[in-house]
Amino acid sequence: MRLAEHVRRMSWLYEVTISAAAVVLALVAGAVLIIVSNPAVVATWGYFFDYPPDALAASWTVVSDAYAALFLGAFGGLRALSNTLIHATPLICAGLGVSLAFRAGLFNIGAQGQLIVGAMAAGWVGFTVQLPPVLHLVVAVVAGLLGGAVWGGVVGLLKARTGAHEVILTIMLNYVALYLLQWSLTTEAFQRPGRDDPISPEVHPSAQFPHLFDTRLHMGFLVALAAAVAVWWLLARSTAGFELRTVGANPHAARTAGMNVGRVYTFVMLLAGALAGLAGTQQVLGTTYPLTDGIAGTIGFDAITVALLGRGSPLGTVAAGLVFGALTAGGLQMQITTQTPLTLTTVLQATIVLFIAAPALVRAVFRIRARRATGPVQALGWNA
Amino acid sequence: MRLELEGLTKRFGSLVACDHIDLTVEPGEIRCLLGENGAGKTTLMNMLYGLLRPDEGRILLDGTPQTCTTPRDAIEAGIGMVHQHFMLVPVFTVAENIMLGRESTRRLGVLDQRAAEQQVRELSERYGLEVDPTARVEDISVGVQQRVEILKALANDAKILILDEPTAVLTPREIDDLIEVMRTLKANGTSIIFITHKLKEVKAIADRITVIRRGKVVDTVGPDASEASLAELMVGRPVQLTVSRRAAADADGEPASGATAEPSEEQAAESADDTSDTRPVQLRVERLRVVDPAGRAVVDDVSFDIAGGEILGIAGVQGNGQTELVEALMGLTDIAGGVIELAGQPITHLEPRARLDAGIGYIPEDRSHDGLVPTFSVAENLVLDLFRRKPFGSRGRLSLSAIRTNAEKRIAEFDVRTSSMHAPAGTLSGGNQQKVVLARELSRPLKVLLAAHPTRGLDVGSIEFVHRRIVAERDRGTAVLIVSTELEEIVALADRIAVMYRGRIVGIVDADTPWDELGLMMAGVPPEAAARQAEEHPTVLGALEDAS
């Protein structure tokens, strides 16, 4: 038994190592970028062979300043910390939606669209309907969940019924959702009276997430953590989760064992959509209050990275969401104090994905020994 | 050409696939390489054919050391190989396939079809290998396709021909033809290395037999060695070659012994009584039809029934509709017509899950593809189709403790060799994977067991185990359907044999039907005609099989 536990812990450790290594490698690549994008530092490298200390000192200063600003902006104080958590909240929820789909062998590129529709539904209930405080929030959140669930569920249903590929469907539905949002913000039902630009009224205070610790951090963060626990329970402890994981790991064996693969796809995409919809709900009810056409930002796409970095596990997704939240919050601070462009954090995020997608490369760099069993199901998404 | 291998060694990580193998094949000799799956036969041949580079050792042809690093080098040195899976272009003609890569052209690069056909004709006459050079490969039978592969090697002036499991896809009659071809080649001075794990073929064909076990040459013997001794060399311990369908109850209690005890007359009569009319029919199939996407019938008007406590074997060459038949019975493929009844209840339109719940157990033909989730733990795989039932699942919750308890019990009961119940099933050996599938399917009361190729790719020890379990399940009153392309397996286990050819059942006959007759039925000859022809033209292998 003890050996078995050991083996299990090893594989868990392996996942964490790969993800952490990818983050470290990305930071190294980012350091190189910081150096080459600073003309003064590049100049010192011009006479590196005559007097090396200059180049090294200048490089060290510029990199350490930038990363120190990044770190302070993310963790330096209550305000920084709350910023990190605010950014992390929708990333965790949407990331959970993508992770869950991964585990069923589906590549859900549609978190963005599901998030938009969820935000639209929650926002509309928030600024149109009049209800007592707590009830209003609950109804608005449920509306957001349903909105996302419909947008995701359609994909699952179409895949189950017609065999259409979920990647194509979700990409297309992302466009549909975005244009639907832009159009609806020109209609009477959504547009703020007296405004010409695409913006809705603010959601009523009765439908807003309450703030925590006197900061901008809102209850939505706790909801995100609760969602992560729920997804963990579903995957690890429920019969539905067992079925879902089986379909993800080997759809043929799942079918042979009497599982209805199509039904599982529909169920999973409903849930994944609801989770992304929850992210949209948190944006509109917790952060922005009015609905705008930029409400989703790139959260739905970053969520894919978060899920990848989290290796498809709920706990990992929470951790990855926090890392990305910190990168965003810290990146803003870094731009202010060291004039390092915010786009660097985008590069960092992209590089992380690159390294995650190429675990063999990460293993080679750090000489991590490969696990014997085949890895998690991420790679299955494309051809499942 | 004389072939010598000296101390040939190949390692894959910590595994030594070939361990200092010495082997000499004389010109014009037919040498059999006998060994279980994974013994290292194919690795050895791949080194010889330039597909793998040896870590140690030398290959000598007529005394000259060779350095073949690609198959092209090997072909130029005079070595030809016929793979288990043919490497032919289906839409090309026989001549085009044989001349592939060495086309003769006329001016402006126009292919000289005539010359190619003429060359093939000469070649086929010289070696007595009959083929029609103008026929398209997709239209000719598997046996003839194999002949084309052999001609392809001979067209390259092969002096040493390697045949990797050449009989796996052939009917007994075609095997007989192949033996004939091999003798002609031998007379022409070609050496043949024949890889197989089938004992009877070896005895019918080989000049000498080299047995390989765990990467080492165990012994080289003549064809007069007994099957039992060959099997012992191959496995490393005495084995019971066939689990008798009649003696199941007795054999269960006994340790494996060298030979099968003949059941007494009384026992035979007794179990015959058991299985005949007294038991109710558990599975009835009537006029079942399955069509492929192109609209062709792949299961064509198939009818049979199986009583409780009876094993019906479906014999036939691979690809004659057996796979589709079993999938239709499980509800995994759409049917175009017909009725399936389980214990008198129609199940024709039930979903797979409902069929499992109704009491069908299913051992799929491709266990790692359909039977298991390789990344899941052994414990999880043991409940793959049971997780919803109590005690494993109740009201949507999974009971991890029940799954563990179950795993402990099944692993012990079925002797699954695994480092732990939490080890991914994909890390187990083929035999142990199959035990996991078997343990799962036999862990609930069944009315019908569908076993598709239950021993494919397994070692002799595991085969014995699987056969015992299946026979024991039959004795418990379950109706069993076994599909296998190994006629030996069918003959050993089945109470009745249905032979399939091109989607149809050619006939359903008794288990003691002569080997040659079954072989002819596998080629589509109806039972009466098969009986007549078998008597007129007995085959070498058939005589051996019937004698045992």
Provide DSSP, B419-484: S-TTSBGGGS-HHHHHHHHHHHHTTS--SEEEEESTTTT--HHHHHHHHHHHHHHHHTT-EEEEE-
Burial class from Cβ neighbours inside 10 Å (0-12, 13-18, 19+) for residue B126 reads exposed
Q: Record the pTM.
A: 0.76
pLDDT digits (tens, 9 = 90+) for B118-136: 888 888 888 777 888 888 8
Q: Is the per-residue pLDDT at B261 higher than 50?
A: no
Tokens of B149: 């592969």
Q: Which residues does residue B160 pair with via DSSP β-bridges, in sequence order?
A: B79, B191
**Alpha-carbon Rg of chain B, whole angstroms?**
25
Residue position matching structure tokens 């013997």: B221
pLDDT given for residue B248 in this prediction: 47
Lowest mean pLDDT among A311-320, B250-259, B308-317, B506-515: B250-259
| Amino acid sitting at position B380 | E
Contacts of B374 in chain A (CB under 8 A): 249-250, 373-374
pLDDT given for residue A365 in this prediction: 63
Q: Is the per-residue pLDDT at B214 higher than 90?
A: no
Burial class from Cβ neighbours inside 10 Å (0-12, 13-18, 19+) for residue A337 reads middle
pLDDT given for residue B195 in this prediction: 87
Dihedral angle sign, alpha carbons of residues B322, B325, B327, B329: negative
pLDDT given for residue A16 in this prediction: 79
pLDDT given for residue B278 in this prediction: 65
Q: What is the mean pLDDT of chain B?
A: 83
Q: Of B352, B483, B461, B361, which Cα lies nearest the Cα of B415?
A: B461
**Cβ–Cβ of B387/A241 closer than 8 Å?**
no
Q: Is B160 helix (H, G, I), strand (E, B) or coil?
A: strand
Q: Is the per-residue pLDDT at B109 higher than 70?
A: no
Alpha-carbon separation of residue B17 from B13, B34, B38, B318 (angstroms)? 10, 15, 8, 29
- The residue of A250, A261, A369 whose CB has the most chain B CBs within 10 angstroms, and thus the best one to mutate to test that interface, is A250
Confidence of residue B110 (pLDDT cuts 50, 70, 90): low
Q: Which residues does residue B285 pair with via DSSP β-bridges, in sequence order?
A: B304, B340
pLDDT given for residue B260 in this prediction: 41
Rounded to a whole number of angstroms, the distance from the CA of A118 to the nearest CA of chain B is 27
Give the integer Cα–Cα distance in Å for A296 and A117: 10
Is residue B144 within 8 A of residue B133, CB to CB? The reply is no
Q: Where are the alpha helices (DSSP H) in B190-314?
A: 199-205, 227-235, 248-253, 265-275
Contacts of A3 in chain B (CB under 8 A): 419-420
**Cβ–Cβ of B422/A7 closer than 8 Å?**
yes
pLDDT digits (tens, 9 = 90+) for B442-493: 988 899 999 998 988 777 778 888 898 999 999 989 999 999 988 888 988 8
Find the residue in B nearest to A259 (Cα).
Answer: B353
Give the integer Cα–Cα distance in Å for A212 and A218: 5
pLDDT given for residue B272 in this prediction: 44
Confidence of residue B103 (pLDDT cuts 50, 70, 90): low
Mean pLDDT of B195-210: 84
Nearest-CB residue to B376 (from A241, A249, A260): A249
**DSSP-derived pairing of the beta strands B345-346 and B337-342:** antiparallel
Q: Is B4 helix (H, G, I), strand (E, B) or coil?
A: strand
Tokens of A132: 């007592």
Tokens of A309: 């970095």
**Alpha-carbon Rg of chain A, whole angstroms?**
22
Tokens of B241: 């070659």
pLDDT given for residue A274 in this prediction: 95
pLDDT given for residue A88 in this prediction: 93
pLDDT given for residue B277 in this prediction: 54
pLDDT given for residue B525 in this prediction: 86
Residues of chain A with confidence (pLDDT) below 50: 1-4, 6-7, 371-384
Q: Is the per-residue pLDDT at B107 higher than 70?
A: no
Q: Is the per-residue pLDDT at B251 higher than 50?
A: no
ipTM strictly over 0.85?
no
- The residue of B401, B422, B433, B436 whose CB has the most chain A CBs within 10 angstroms, and thus the best one to mutate to test that interface, is B422
Give the integer Cα–Cα distance in Å for A81 and A203: 26
Tokens of A113: 């669209």
Is residue B457 within 8 A of residue B208, CB to CB? The reply is no
Is residue B216 within 8 A of residue B54, CB to CB? The reply is no
Is residue A301 within 8 A of residue A108, CB to CB? The reply is no
Is residue B312 within 8 A of residue B306, CB to CB? The reply is yes
Q: Of B191, B140, B144, B196, which Cα lies nearest the Cα of B167?
A: B196
pLDDT given for residue A374 in this prediction: 38
pLDDT given for residue A144 in this prediction: 94
Higher pLDDT, A340 or B367: B367
Compute the half-sphere exposure of residue A94: CA atoms within 13 Å on the CB side of its CA: 37
